[in-house]
Chains A and B, each alone.
Chain A
């Protein structure tokens, strides 16, 4: 009797605890759901008229904007005026580089409309058309136009240098070197040397390329700051390939001192800092660059290494941007996306697939690097076969890539 009573009391207590527990669970679930629902963005009506919704890259009153307006108006009056169209397209390319906004490439394309589908368009139009095409990774289409342009006008330096650039992305070094040769005499000395040094610096002759480029830079008194930043960034890369981090840092510092806002420099410099195990400096440098996908990736990597709370928010933002790109069917940021998946999401398989896909169209050292690292992370050396072959064939020196490759080869045996 007594045992029965105490048993039923225990049962009652157990059930009561269960019910209370369940209610607490439900309450917790409700809180989570309501917070999640609240966090989801929804269209809204801003509270005040004065609230700034968007900052424009180019103010209507800026000289650049005035110039663009004038050219646009001129072209609107006479859409078949090639000279005006080319000038306008060129201005847009410059803006695309400076602001990092691909919209300007589209605007340039619009200016070239009358010549866009013309099989034998004038040379100027073909070169500009090639530049637009290579931006959307239509490399073969771009090369077709550039081949025709250089055939017809062998002194067209712009066409030769874009050809070299595309051949570098495709890892066709013999072709790139020939393009650089063609630039001799029709380009400034520094320009021609930089072209060849860029090829040599990638293909196992970093020391010689570094010497040549540094000397050419010293000889050129008229070099612009933007070009100087570009040359110094290349010099830093070449130093790194020789394993000289100290010299690389010196080049970077001189480049940073030029007062040019250059995303490519910032990306290279922050990659250097991350590789050197100095995420705090990278984080401080990039704090105000969240709008740039490329730099946001570096910022999130630095913050994750530092284990600071902002990391989570920035990873979310990156995810949203990659999702948006996927929605429009873009495959222009595969290398970045692979890096994002590998180091920030820990999605190794997906990272490897993206790196492989990326390698099909882009074969620069950094494309090889992510492919090698993703293959190593998934312990799948055969997946990186093409990058390993590239490393041998190109004789690329970067010690970091070589070490990763060694580890992959060790797997194989």
Chain B
């Protein structure tokens, strides 16, 4: 009957497979002489290679994975060779996370490697699981600023070289500038903070309630002061954090940003500070600067062109911010006397912002996912 079983296997063959074959996802970013990367490896594969299910119950838990992080790093990084100019660039793991891919959970290892000189050609040797599963493939995404390349590693193509483009300081400046604009646009926490402070600019508090301002200049100067002090403040902290003078835990910074949004929004409904909102913008701007810095760090800072990147990124943030303000101010001034602006935008809008930011605060402080569930 064994043969009939063979026939059965044969005729049911490839399409009946439930899973996709074993792959890992390797993202590598090159910046000057340094390499940073993220490597997603299936837990099922790691279990086969080094054993993760310590209690043998068939379930791999986060605790078990955590206990093996050192083993995972040692096993995987020994099978990834990064070379530049004939010299090995040794890599070390920096962070461990988890990611759910379409076929199950993966261990995510972030790593960093330094090469002695600026990388012009990166040679990658990939031999993960080559001895255990010759059908395993490594799917590489290689990023260098604007350009992204992909490649597939298999035992037949275990070593591949990648020529890297030379990048001028000007390109780098504009690249980082664009990242800055992009970040303020997708960074809703910064936008909402700024909007919360700007919403009352076309109104004036008379001690009892907010009334529309009579003329445009006061509104303009109010906005000018707020935006300028926010900019000055976050430029200061962005610079000192990016240069590595001070480093704050990201959970603290992200929670602080969420708090700043809640307070700024609530201040509109229950005014505490009305004349000196620029001061609020300055104080909280300091926290937002740390947030920007962490984005910049994730982008990878070019060692040779730190200043260029920093200034470019910061200017990008200001341009993005200016675009928002110049769209906001005329519209708000135009609508300032309407019920729509005073009740809906100003009061309901502020409350909505405060509510969203409160959810962020809980998410960030307790590492939860609520909105993004």
Contacts and interface: CB of A to CB of B under 8 A. Distances in A.
Contact of B60 (A53, A116, A162, A267): A53
Nearest to A40: B372
A56 B59 contact: yes
Interface in B1-52: 1-23, 38, 40, 43-45, 47-48, 51
A134 B10 CA distance: 9
A325 B20 CA distance: 7
Contacts of A383: none
By secondary structure, the B interface counts as: mixed
A23 interface: yes
B134 interface: yes
Contacts of A168: 11
Given A33-B186, A61-B56, A264 B12 contact: yes
Contacts of B368: 47
B161 interface: no
Interface in A37-85: 37-39, 41-56, 58-61
Interface in A7-40: 15-16, 19-20, 22-23, 30, 33-34, 37-39
A400 interface: no
Nearest to A230: B8
Contacts of A165: 7, 10-11, 13
Contacts of A58: 58
Contacts of B51: 60
A190 B5 CA distance: 11
Nearest to B66: A49
B216 interface: no
A105 B20 CA distance: 12
Contact of A294 (B11, B16, B131, B186): B16
A99 B108 CA distance: 25
Looking at A22, A94, A323, A327, which has the most chain B CB atoms within 10 Å of its CB?
A327
Nearest to A34: B188
A328 B334 contact: no
Contact of B58 (A51, A55, A94, A230): A55
Contacts of A384: none
A52 B61 contact: yes
Interface residues of A, number: 99
Interface string A335-354: 11000000000000000000
Interface stretch (B92-100, B174-182, B281-289): B92-100
B99 A328 contact: no
B147 interface: no
A253 interface: no
B367 A54 contact: no
A294 B334 CA distance: 59
Contacts of B44: 54, 56, 103
A4 interface: no
Contact of B369 (A44, A101, A323, A332): A44
B63 interface: yes
Given A19-B331, A54-B105, A103 B137 contact: no
Interface stretch (A220-228, A300-308, A385-393): A220-228
Nearest to A109: B134
Interface string A220-258: 001110110011000000000000000000000000000
Contact of A103 (B58, B97, B133): B133
B53 interface: yes
Interface in B60-114: 60-63, 65-66, 97-105, 108
Looking at B2, B16, B17, B65, which has the most chain A CB atoms within 10 Å of its CB?
B17
A333 B62 contact: no
A53 B98 contact: yes
Nearest to A52: B59
Contact of B136 (A22, A38, A106, A198): A106
A241 B63 CA distance: 54
15 contacts: A49-B66, A50-B61, A54-B44, A99-B19, A102-B22, A110-B133, A116-B134, A188-B3, A190-B1, A226-B8, A227-B1, A294-B16, A295-B18, A328-B21, A330-B20
Q: List the 8 closest pairs (A to B, CB-CB), nearest first.
A: A100-B18, A49-B63, A165-B10, A106-B133, A38-B372, A106-B135, A292-B18, A59-B58
